[in-house]
Amino acid sequence: MSLPKPPAEVPVISRVNALAPKMQDAVLAIVKEMADAGHNAKVFETLRTEERQAFLYGFGRKYDDGRGTVTKVEDAWKGWHRFGLAVDIVEDDKTPWSASQSFWQTLGKLAEKHNLTWGGRWKFLDLPHSHWAGAPTSPTALDRALAKESGIEAVWQKYGAV
């Protein structure tokens, strides 16, 4: 049985101003300091929609285009990207996901310096990913309820990201 072809790419949101205010400051500082260290970094993804999360979740489960598992989370509300409290930063070149170890290690050190948790320290490595260190590893049911009732800004406030 052959696997279906993946759907058309769902647009990526890479606007830094889609993030919580303190996340914005951290991300801008990281990109600048990466340049100062000789690395050409760019913000790849910030806020993530439900449609984008479903698209990414399909890889490694439904589609065979070589990407393998892109995310382990099917529901966007169970990851910090949906809340504007996560970012993916990659190398700004033709192979952004294949950066040198020096690039990733510098990114990790700078993310942690700027109060972010870096995905390069996880069992399931996610080298481009960082999220607000004041928040737990994943959003809680209370975080999801708060966001749906009062907006994601209320979650930013809860975790001191404003």
* Residue range 14-36: mean pLDDT, rounded: 98
Judged against a pLDDT cut of 70, whether residue 6 lies above it is answered with no
What torsion, rounded to 10 degrees, do the Cα atoms 6, 118, 14, 154 define? Answer: 110
Give 96's contacts (C-beta < 8 A, 6+ positions apart): 42, 44, 90
Strand order in the sheet with 86-91: 41-45, 86-91, 129-132, 116-118
Where is 158: in which H helix or E strand? helix 152-158
* Residue range 63-86: mean pLDDT, rounded: 80
* Residue range 102-114: mean pLDDT, rounded: 98
Q: Name the token pair of 30.
A: 């990281």
CB–CB of 55/71 below 8 Å? no
Nearest to 63 by CA among 127, 118, 9, 132: 9
Judged against a pLDDT cut of 80, whether residue 79 lies above it is answered with yes
Nearest to 116 by CA among 29, 44, 39, 42: 29
Q: Read off the pLDDT band of 56 (50, 70, 90).
A: confident
CB–CB of 15/28 below 8 Å? no
Say which amino acid occupies 11: P
Neighbours of 126 (CB within 10 A): 17
pTM over 0.85: yes
Q: Read off the pLDDT band of 39 (50, 70, 90).
A: very high
Judged against a pLDDT cut of 90, whether residue 70 lies above it is answered with no
